[in-house]
Amino acid sequence: MRGHLLGYDGRSATSTSFSGSYGGGLLFEDKPLWYIDVVSRGLMQQREVVFNAYKGTRLGDLSEEENTEAYYRVIVSRYLRTKITDQLFTP
């Protein structure tokens, strides 16, 4: 299977084509129906990992600055997950 990595605006993010069994990139032009479910499941698992990691940092003895940085990373993770999910809904 060959696909081309897409940017969030639908244009090509790079000039490199990816081949193989859906490895190497997140969003492909020619995505089969089951692929959407696999990516969605992975995003849910990533959300759980980020949640537990952040909860662990809050309960730990990190400085306020380190806790703030960890929270910013949670925000970025949420943003990226939302953008990828939106991309999966596009035809």
**Interval 32-79: pLDDT, tens:** 666 788 888 999 999 999 999 999 988 989 899 999 999 999 999 999
- Residue-number span of the structural domain to which 18 is assigned: 1-30
45 and 20 share a domain? no
pLDDT, position 75: 94
Residue 69's identity, in one-letter code, is E
Q: Quick one: pLDDT band at residue 80, thresholds 50, 70, 90?
A: very high
Tell whether the model's pLDDT for residue 15 goes beyond 70.
no
35 and 72 share a domain? yes
What's the angle, vertex CA 74, arms to CA 71 and CA 78, rounded to 5? 145
Structural domains of the chain, count: 2
Dist CA 91 CA 89 (whole Å)? 6
4 and 23 share a domain? yes
20 and 35 share a domain? no
For the question of whether the overall pTM of this predicted structure is more than 0.75, the answer is: no
pLDDT, position 89: 83
Dist CA 39 CA 86 (whole Å)? 12
